[in-house]
Structure 1
Amino acid sequence: MGSAILGARNLTGCEHRLALDFASSEAAARTGETAEANRRIEAAQSHRRHVIDALRQFQSHRQAGAVVLVDEPDHRGRVAATRAAMDAGAEWILQASLPTDAQRGRRGHAEALVRQGDGYVPIIIVNHRVTTPIAEPREGETPSLQTSPLSGWEPAPDPTRSFRSQRRDVMRLAQLAAMLDDLGRLHAPRDEALGGLIGLDADCIVAIPLGEVADDYDAIFTRRRAIAEGLIPTAPRKVSECRSCHWWPRCEAELVQQRDVSLVVGGNQGTVLRDIGVVTIDQLADYRGREPEDWVGSTKFPDTIVSAKSWVRDIPLVRRRERPRVRRADVEVDVDMESFSERGAYLWGTLLTDNTNPERPVVYRPFVTWDPLPTRDEGRSFAEFWAWLMSERNAAHQAGKTFAAYCYSQHAENRWLRGSADRFGDMPGVPSRKTVDAFIASDEWVDIFEAVGDNFVCPRGKGLKRIAPVAGFGWRDDEAGGEASMEWYAAAVALDGAELDLSQRDRLLEYNEDDVQATKVLREWIAGDDVLRLPLAADLLAENSGA
């Protein structure tokens, strides 16, 4: 295998994927990106074009030649145009491509290079949020974050935001800084260099101190290049990245054949098990020794043994307690939110059940905007959802009835409850952040995902699509899922140039309705008697103790 040339994408994520992507013998077997990956790529490209247009507008007052947009059709032409712009001392170079460095093994491009002194600061644009608003900055505390307006490179302490760091963004900027430094074009010594990061909100440029990560980048780059060149062997392991990887079908087949322990235990816990000689699911299922002293992570060691036994015997769930429990109420509302990437939440679906009045129909109510995200109309639909939810809550209280609203994995719902209050607080009917936080903190907001984890060991994951079928629920659409819904939404609103297909709106509403129905069926099953047919974790563990 020849010398590998790495782009920024190769610096993070699964090392085995990197090895497979670069193995020449696998070239003919490579498959294309998943539909979800292609959607993310297209959305990111659209966002970058929009922000680059905005950057051009901010600099439109400058004289000719000060701002250069590199738009040549081929890579060689883009590199030549970028170098010519740097040689001419352009103030802003948009869509810049740096020359591929075959000797050092690096390639890269920047959405913008902005001149500072005799060199350039690299700026990249990403399609996710990179800052979080700080509601009440602390007086007298020096902000750790520096930001600059989009109109020019003027970094200054920013007490209104905190940084939402993602490693792949920082590594990409570090690679660009290294390349500029090799060309003698970096604006400062490498240990003092800064990079710029523009996120989804595109309301500022975050200044990233790259000197702090230079040594880390060098070590990572050296190892990753060695992997790409076949000098360091890798093996498949199941990680979170697998679900969106085009190599997963191949890796999964290998792992299942090997009965690899990573299928039930992930991350550092799998490393700990390998260190004590437990490499297969069967070995873990039969484990009779002490818990490893250096056991880490949130999953308890006995749970991993139960998961392994369940995997071997094809048991979908195992009870933690004799009688599972979940909070119930007189009036119950199941809630499911649909969002698109980080652009916003376009749909809040609800299903109300009044257990004190069997004649009251159980009706699905969606609160939705079909204006393409991001849109202010999102605030209108959220306000209507909130008003309806609170009116039902208040009516239950006034009638002396208990009330509870349920979701599956409140992390997502809470994020958009709070985010909607923050972003649309000036619109009629939108609650304050304080009001939303009070509701989230109350015992009337119940997370069924947490209830599942509290009541069961889940050997094959805790996702709603995996757990609800155990309770007897099935989705009407065979393709239903988060990844597919992204494609449906893009067509439903003709997002980013997609062809408009109004039938996808009905499909999304049906999918959302099924999600709230699944949540209802699952929580009622947890509280019922059929769940008692599942085995108890204590009984499975007793097999290994000889009890």
Structure 2
Amino acid sequence: MTEPATPAITGSMLHDLVKCERKVHHDLHSDPSRRDGVGEFVEMLWRGGREHEEAVLARMPGTVVDLRQVPKPERMAATMAALRSGAETILGGRLEHGDMLGEPDVLRRAGDDWIAGDVKTGGAFEQDGETPRREYAAQVAHYAIMLEGLNAGRGDTALVIGRDGDDTLYDLRMRRGRAGTSIADAAAALAAKARAIRDGRHEALGAMSATCKMCCWHTVCGRELEDADDLTLLAGIGRSVRDVLAPHAPTVAALATLDPRPLVRPRGRTSVPGLGAERLARFQARARLVVEGGAAYAREPLGLARAPRELHFDIEADPSRDGLVYLHGVLDVRRRDGVQTSEYVRFFAETEDDERHAFAQALEFLSADPSAMIYYYSKYERSSYRALQRRHPDVCSPEEIETLFDPARAVDLLFDVIMPKTEWPLRNLSIKTIARHLGFDWRDEHASGAASIAWYDDYRRSGDPAIRGRIERYNEDDVLASLAVLDGLIALPVRLEDENA
């Protein structure tokens, strides 16, 4: 009987490790039949990625060798032959070196050496605009390491072609951050971790995060975390906090009953790295509510009151199209003489070319009555409006955006109120979770931001008004949920700090 081949360490493994080591474990060791089905949003991302890649690769300059149709078993030999030829660009090559495997989208000649790279649908840098995007850098550095091992490249440079179609070269040897780690060093460390996971020498732990719903192992991992009563199931606790807190309280139940006194140090510090006494107390209060099933409460007076006019505001945007904002929705709530009325107002962008017009209309509506209170949920609306202003500077100035989101009239329900001032017996603090806890629900059973993006992609392709109606109903429910959450916050009982002890 032939022994199964040891899985190779691939660039995609390193890409995934940046996000979640548990996915790599499942890909290597778990039954593929246990994977979740592919959702509409992921299908849309794959389709968009293929279309973008095809468009970018179709305009490669110079002499091009295209190996994408060569059978995989023959492609390494074909790639090595192409590297020795007079070609300037190789598409769909395959690199094998030791236990490493890489399939770069592009190999580009640079003098006597070659540079490997990938086509990506996102930007090449992190939000600061300077730091190479970690998951992209890990993947293309893996290719560079193999090229150097094959004596075909220096191993110090790699290429990413982002959503804008422009080339970005990563310096793989430049040392960054406090630890002074280079991209090449980070990629080598990730490859070592991948080998340890593959060989059973490293216990890869899952952790609940915002990206989990996109993963094909979401259901499997969710059950694992529930069975383990993992701390990342508690709102606000991510992988890093879980890992430093776990030696003292490995589960939500253990955190609920933890005696924090041995951990507390002078001046609000604790012996848990990066976790102050106040933050520890918040997490413990949250754990107690979840375990004991207590009622939500405010830790201090919230200062919220119903206003004569409220504008509950929510946008729909597509990050795969550079943050295109395709819908601005507003629930215009008015109260007079004890009577409340509301109207849903929306501004829709049919295409990228319509984004400016929809933005201008929405901004005019939101700014028209400075006495109206504006409510939104999380920082996304504000950051998106800042980005819209930069894309369409003729519509308004940066100062006008800051005026619109002045805290005196604009309230972020999540970051201004819920997170710093309230506690809930819930696993997370998303608007859907809190609104449903308060008795509100969405009309569409498949409602989600990701689904809305997929629907918008379908609408752009078909022009079907029923699909546009579905998008608008979802957005309308989002702003109705904002009103329900505000009402729920106003009704919350207040429990002061000494009462919570």
Query: TM-score range with shorter-chain normalisation?
Result: 0.7 to 0.9
How do 1:133-532 residues align onto structure 2 when only pairs under 5 Å count?
Answer: 162-163=129-130, 165-186=132-153, 188=154, 190=155, 193-202=156-165, 204-211=166-173, 212-264=182-234, 265-276=237-248, 278-290=249-261, 291=263, 292-296=270-274, 300-315=279-294, 317-321=296-300, 323-326=301-304, 329-343=307-321, 344-356=324-336, 361-371=341-351, 375-393=352-370, 402-409=371-378, 411-426=379-394, 430-450=395-415, 451-458=417-424, 459-494=426-461, 501-527=464-490, 529=491, 531-532=492-493
**Alpha-carbon distance in structure 1 between the residues aligned to 2:393 and 2:12:** 37
Aligned-CA RMSD value? 2.7
Contact kept in structure 2, 1:346 and 1:378, CA below 8 Å: yes
Confirm or deny: 8 A CA contact 1:333 1:350 kept in the other structure: yes
Do residues 22 (structure 1) and 19 (structure 2) align? no
What is the CA-CA distance between 1:2 and the residue it aligns to? Answer: 4.8
1:7 aligns with 2:10: yes
5+ long unaligned stretches in structure 2: 174-181, 264-269
Rounded to whole Å, the distance in 2 between the matches of 1:26 and 1:273 is 31
Deviation at 1:296, TM superposition (A): 2.1
What residue in structure 2 maps to residue 137 of structure 1? none
Give the 3 Å change call, closer, same or farther, for CA 226–316 of structure 1 in structure 2: farther
Per-residue displacement from partner, 1:150-197 (whole Å, max 9, x unpaired)?
A: xxxxxxxxxxx93253211110111010111122111x3x3xx22222
Counterpart secondary structure, 2:246: helix
Q: 1:492 to 1:245 in 2, by over 3 A?
A: same
Partner of 2:178: none
SS at match of 2:208: coil
**What is the identity, as a one-letter code, of the residue corresponding to 1:195?**
A
Q: Which runs of 4+ in 1 moved over 6 A?
A: 357-360
Query: Residue by residue, what CA displacement relative to the aligned partner does 1:50-109 show, whole Å, maximum 9, x if unpaired?
Result: 2223x33xx3xx5xxx2333331533455454333322121222x3322334xx222222
Question: Does 1:100 find its partner at 2:69?
Answer: no
Q: Which residue of 2 aligns with 1:71?
A: 68
Alpha-carbon deviations, 1:467-503, whole Å to 9, x = none? 1123332211121111222222222222xxxx66432
SS at match of 1:512: helix
Alpha-carbon distance in 2 for matches of 1:180, 1:520: 57
1:303 is displaced (CA, Å) by 1.4
**CA displacement, residues 363-397 of structure 1 (integer Å, 9 cap, x when unaligned):** 111100122xxx2211111111112222233xxxx
Residue 330 of structure 1, CA deviation: 3.2
Alignment match, 2:54: 49
Give the SS at the match of 2:442: coil
AA in 1 matched with 2:393: G
Q: Which residue of the partner structure matches residue 136 of structure 1?
A: none
Which amino acid letter does the alignment assign opposite residue 5 of structure 1?
A: A
Alignment coverage as a number of residue pairs: 473
Residues 297 and 185 of structure 1, relative CA distance in 2, 3 Å threshold: farther
The answer to whether the Cα contact below 8 Å between 1:489 and 1:504 also exists between their aligned partners in 2 is yes
Give the AA of the match of 1:454: P
Q: Counterpart of 1:433 in structure 2: which amino acid?
A: P
CA distance in 1, matches of 2:292, 2:5: 46
> Following TM superposition, by how much is the alpha carbon of 1:517 offset from its aligned partner in structure 2, in angstroms?
1.1
Q: 1:387 to 1:73 in 2, by over 3 A?
A: farther
Distance in 2 separating the partners of 1:38 and 1:324: 42
Instruction: Give the partner amino acid of 2:99.
Output: G
Unaligned runs of 5+ in 1: 134-160, 394-401, 543-547
Deviation at 1:253, TM superposition (A): 2.3
Q: Which residue type is aligned with residue 388 of structure 1?
A: F
Q: Is the 8 A contact 1:75 1:97 kept in 2?
A: no
**Aligned AA (1:98):** R
Give the deviation of 1:524 after TM superposition: 2.7
Secondary structure of 1:380's aligned partner: helix
**CA gap 1:15/1:355 in 2 versus in 1, 3 angstroms:** same
Deviations 1:252-295 (A, max 9, x none): 2233233333322432222222223x222222111123244124
Structure 2: how far apart are the matches of 1:457 and 1:359? 31
The structure 2 residue matched to 1:127, chosen from 107, 121, 128, is 121
CA distance in 2, matches of 1:169, 1:359: 55
Label 1:27 to 1:516 Cα distance change in 2 as closer, same or farther (>3 A): closer
Question: What SS does the aligned partner of 1:305 have?
Answer: helix
In the alignment, residue 9 of structure 2 is paired with which amino acid? L
Change (3 A) 1:403 1:177: same
Query: Within 2, Cα distance between the matches of 1:486 and 1:331?
Result: 30
1:114 is aligned to: 108
2:220 maps to amino acid: R
Once residues 424 and 239 of structure 1 are traced to their aligned partners in structure 2, the CA distance between those partners, rounded to angstroms, is 33
